[in-house]
Amino acid sequence: MRLDSRFLNWGLFFIVTGAVPLAVQQGLLGRDIAVRAWQLWPLLIVAAGVGLLLRRTTLEFLGGVIVAVTFGAMLGGVIAVGAELSEIGRSCGSGETRAFASQQGSLGGSARVRVDLNCGDVNVGTAAGSGWTLSGSSTDGELPRISSGSDRLTIESKNQGGVFFFGPSHRDSWTVTLPTDPTIDIEAELNAADARFALTGARLGRTEMNLNAGSLRLDLTDFTLSRLDVHVNAGSARMTFPASGFSGSLEVNAGSIAFCVPEGVGLRISTNANITGSNNFDQRGLSRSGSTWETANFSGAASRIDLTSNANAASLTLNPEDGCR
């Protein structure tokens, strides 16, 4: 029997892609090992060299085999535990920053807050009252773009040139304090960012988080919320949910989302049917009906969280053993 090298390579790719997350789930492979699978990329260069050396020999297929196995291991690692890209937010830009003058203002009974960070880190917290504050630093020591009024607050990086992987660029480091008295809708656009939102005691309407390359920590303990939408591309997010109910969506592409739900809160989450996505919902005792998972107490719970999810080459983890903070 003669194997067609094209089918051999595809077969090996799918086998390894599925084997890695399965091995992690069964405890046969440590998460710390799987999370570093992307570091195998130099093997792709090795594969090219092997292919050239063995060209027009009976072993020429070995280059393709190495490529298939390497890509499978890299993708399998992402599916199993998500891409650990939090260091991008800490290392992008030129590194050294200079402090800028602190800013402050106040919000009325309801307001919309937008945080748009492009390269750097941001810590968002809360304080009693109606006042907001901003402090921090930037590469040139100048303020970010700020637009504010009683009904709005927008903080944007001056540099809107995209995510920076090569050479120096503008970097921001912000500390933002939001008031707990008003009802606030929050939208965050985070690119190459290390972001932490500790919104304890906040009164939130709709909250939307968009993360592209980097990490997000979202602590929603002791607060009220109507809707939460989180979108992650090539990054990782960890979220602590409140004891109050809300609806929302989780979408992750080539990354990971971990979320912690308080005991006694009912949870229902509808998933997509993508084979490149993984979750641990069965291990956490949720029952499945079609593409929907539920906790046993969902229908009768006083507080219920109702989510939709979409995971592509990514993982969703409920109540991870190491927590969400």
pLDDT in tens, 9-35: 777 878 887 788 778 767 788 766 776
Q: How far is CA 208 from CA 15, 33, 112, 233, 265, in A?
A: 36, 32, 11, 14, 22
Higher pLDDT: 5 or 136? It is 136
For the chain, what is the mean pLDDT?
A: 85
User: Per-residue pLDDT for 88 more than 70?
Assistant: no
Residue 102: its pLDDT value, please? Answer: 97
Cα gap 255→251, rounded to integer Å? 10
pLDDT of residue 169: 64
pLDDT, position 17: 79
Q: Residues of the chain with pLDDT > 70: what percent?
A: 85
42 pLDDT higher than 70: yes
The torsion defined by the Cα of 157, 162, 165 and 171, in degrees rounded to 10, comes to: -10
Quick one: tokens of 253?
């592409």
Q: Which residues pair with 224 in a beta bridge?
A: 203
Q: How confident is the model at residue 106 (pLDDT cuts 50, 70, 90)?
A: very high
pLDDT at 10: 75
The SS3 assignment for 172 reads strand
Tell whether the torsion through CA atoms of 291, 295, 296 and 301 is positive or negative.
negative
**What pLDDT is recorded for position 281?**
95
- Quote the pLDDT of residue 272: 84
3-state secondary structure of 220: coil
Q: How far apart are CA 44 and CA 213, in angstroms?
A: 23
* Count of Cβ atoms closer than 10 Å to residue 209 Cβ: 21
Collapsing DSSP states into helix, strand and coil, what is residue 312? strand
Higher pLDDT, 266 or 57: 266
What the block records as the tokens of 168 is 């120096």
Lowest average pLDDT, out of 112-126, 131-145, 160-174, 223-237, goes to 160-174
Residue range 138-148: average pLDDT? 94
**Averaged pLDDT for residues 311-323:** 88
Q: Give 41: exposed, middle or buried? Use CB within 10 Å, 0-12, 13-18, 19+.
A: exposed
Per-residue tokens: 269: 């989450």
Calculate helix-pair angle for 5-25, 62-81, nearest 10 degrees: 30
**Residue-level pLDDT at 108:** 95
Provide the pLDDT confidence category of residue 69 given band limits of 50, 70 and 90: confident
3-state secondary structure (DSSP) of residue 130: coil
| Cα–Cα dist 177/107, whole Å | 12
Q: Find, among 306, 295, 252, 307, the residue nearest to 274 by Cα.
A: 252
Structure tokens at 296: 């046993």
Q: Which two tokens stand for residue 303?
A: 């507080």
Give the pairing type, strands 314-318 and 266-270.
Answer: unpaired
Residue 57 confidence (pLDDT): 76
Once rounded to an integer, what is the mean pLDDT over residues 292-311? 95
